């Protein structure tokens, strides 16, 4: 099985020992505390889960700026995006050496982690702009990732953390949320050696299903991990529970038995396109996958990125940086001529009318109106789940 990024074994930051965790929770009651952002809470969950191996906590300014600039920390270690705990006001923890981090996404703001404070540093407007442009390739506040990154504060609290829970993810998604440790263990039990990861924040239509199967066949994979984001999305994206149900139904009916693991991870979407694709590669390596599918406009939003920018960014990433391989997918669609889903670039004798295309807007309109989607576009059992969701939304 592929090694984790930067170490021989995973080093998750979640405190497994019940007695030690209980003692830390008790200790937290007497520590200075601060409610962190949803993004920072997601970072804590990813650190706790082993996905962000081998990081030990939140980055300081020198590492964050270096990572934003050229995807390497100040010591030269490869990492694609800053992992930060940014706040608007750090006065509640000023001069503290050890603090309790409170979860903004769970009622009552329970302690999600304890942090040893190494530095509290304020970022200038120029530094925030430099990081923003490097990560997102734009400063446009209409970009959901740019907006989220620039509205949580400019004060960074850096230092190692001990993670005490997985926020709401393991409770709201008990059948789906899995740590990198759990996925790596499951892959090992199944005896899989070559494993493809498919990243999604959306339900899987026929094109996604086809792309996953093409990748599995191309690399002779033993199995695939369909790995869905369970955190916060932009307005209009389909909620995780609906997406989960749709994906499970598709896999149950249209994939060979025992060839897919359906799992999810606790993180808010960045919509950072190419840089987020590289982050996806890092934590898929950590969970044991040998290949990541990177398709058209991977992790993109709007028209901020070129269709294949998330693939070409890997041209300059070597095996010294990452061990995982990238399966580069073209735009996939159902061909009426061939009667199946294919990569559009692989066939030359097709016109526009030979493909089954539906825009996202059109799909939502049809489902809300109770109209069946073409079976060439979406499996009917999947479309039914989505239709029930959109009709319930329309009725509100």
Flag whether 5 is in a domain: no
Q: Which of 170, 194, 214 is the last residue of a domain?
A: 170
204, 226: one domain: yes
Residue 64: CB atoms within 10 Å: 25
C-alpha 140/C-alpha 132 separation (Å) is 10
Long-range contacts of 105-110 (CB under 8 A, 24+ apart): 105/38, 105/41, 105/167, 105/168, 106/167, 106/168, 109/35, 110/165
Nearest alpha carbon to residue 293 among 314, 272, 321, 264: 314
Same domain? For 263 and 341 the reply is yes
Q: How far apart are CA 49 and CA 346, in angstroms?
A: 39
Given 98, 201, 248, 364, which residue is catalytic?
201
6 in a domain, yes or no?
A: no
Q: Choose, from 202, 248, 328, 364, the residue flagged as catalytic.
A: 202
Is 201 designated active site? yes
Q: What is the pLDDT of residue 237?
A: 82
Under 8 Å CB-to-CB from 165, ≥6 apart: which residues? 103, 110, 112
pLDDT of residue 143: 97
Beta-ladder partners of 72 = 78
Query: In this structure, are 326 and 362 located in the same domain?
Result: yes
The reply to whether 240 falls in a domain is yes
Q: Are residues 208 and 324 in the same domain?
A: yes
Q: What is the pLDDT along the chain (396 residues), one digit of tens a residue?
A: 899 999 999 999 999 999 999 999 999 999 999 999 999 999 999 999 999 999 999 999 999 999 999 999 999 999 999 999 999 999 999 999 999 999 999 999 999 999 999 999 999 999 999 999 999 999 999 999 999 999 999 999 999 999 999 999 999 999 999 999 999 999 999 999 999 999 998 889 999 999 999 999 999 999 999 999 999 888 878 888 999 999 999 999 999 999 999 999 999 999 999 999 999 999 999 999 999 999 999 999 999 999 999 999 999 999 999 999 999 998 888 999 999 999 988 898 999 899 998 777 788 888 888 999 999 999 999 999 999 999 988 877
Per the structure, the complete domain to which residue 316 belongs is given by: 178-394
> Which residues share a beta bridge with 197?
225, 292
Q: What is the CATH number of the domain that holds 62?
A: 3.10.400.10
pLDDT at 360: 72
Token look-up 């740590």 returns 179
Query: Last residue of a domain, which of 140, 170, 200?
Result: 170
- For residues 88 and 235, membership in a common domain is answered with no
Number of C-beta neighbours around residue 122 at 10 A: 11
Residues 373, 377, 380, 386, CA torsion sign: negative
The number of distinct structural domains making up the chain is 2
**Which domain CATH number covers 281?**
3.40.50.620
Asked whether residue 146 falls in the same domain as residue 198, the answer is no
Active site residue 296: no
Rounded to 5°, the CA angle 384-387-389 comes to 115
DSSP per-residue letters across 219-282: TT-SEEEEEEE-S---TTSPPHHHHHHHHHHHHHHHS-TTSEEEEEE-------THHHHHHHHH
Is position 2 within any domain? no
Could you tell me if 166 and 189 lie in one domain?
Answer: no
Domain ends where: 170, 193, 225?
170
């Amino acid at each position: 099985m592929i090694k984790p990024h930067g170490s021989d074994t995973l080093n998750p930051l979640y405190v497994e020992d019940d007695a030690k965790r209980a003692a830390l929770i008790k200790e937290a009651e007497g520590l200075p505390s601060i409610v962190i952002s949803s993004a920072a809470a997601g970072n804590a969950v990813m650190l706790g889960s082993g996905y962000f191996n081998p990081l030990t906590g939140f980055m300081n300014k020198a590492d964050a700026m270096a990572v934003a600039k050229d995807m390497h920390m100040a010591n030269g270690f490869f990492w694609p995006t800053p992992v930060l705990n940014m706040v608007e006001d750090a006065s509640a923890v000023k001069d503290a050496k050890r603090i309790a981090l409170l979860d903004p996404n769970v009622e009552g703001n329970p302690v999600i982690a304890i942090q040893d404070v190494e530095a509290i540093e304020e970022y200038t407007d120029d530094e925030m702009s430099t990081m923003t442009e490097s990560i997102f390739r734009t400063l446009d506040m209409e970009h959901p990732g740019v907006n989220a990154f620039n509205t949580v504060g400019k004060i960074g609290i850096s230092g190692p953390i001990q993670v005490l829970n997985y926020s709401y993810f393991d409770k709201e998604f008990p059948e789906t949320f899995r740590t990198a440790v759990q996925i790596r263990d499951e892959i090992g039990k199944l005896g899989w050696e070559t494993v493809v990861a498919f990243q999604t924040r959306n339900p899987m239509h026929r094109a996604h299903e086809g792309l996953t199967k093409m990748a599995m066949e191309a690399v002779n994979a033993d199995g695939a991990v369909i790995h869905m984001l369970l955190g916060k999305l932009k307005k209009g994206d389909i909620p995780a529970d609906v997406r989960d149900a749709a994906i499970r139904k598709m896999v149950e009916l249209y994939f060979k038995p025992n060839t897919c693991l359906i799992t999810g991870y606790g993180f808010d979407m960045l919509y950072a396109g190419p840089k987020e694709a590289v982050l996806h590669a890092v934590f898929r390596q950590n969970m044991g996958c040998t290949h990541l599918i990177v398709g058209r406009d991977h992790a993109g939003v709007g028209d901020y990125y070129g269709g294949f920018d998330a693939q070409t960014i890997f041209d300059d990433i070597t095996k010294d940086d990452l061990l995982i391989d990238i399966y580069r997918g073209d735009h996939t669609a159902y061909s009426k001529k061939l009667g199946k889903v294919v990569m559009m670039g692989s066939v030359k004798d097709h016109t526009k009318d030979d493909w089954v295309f539906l825009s996202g807007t059109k799909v939502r309109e049809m489902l809300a109106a109770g109209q069946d989607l073409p079976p060439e576009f979406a499996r009917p059992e999947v479309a039914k789940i989505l239709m029930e969701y959109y009709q319930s939304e329309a009725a509100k």
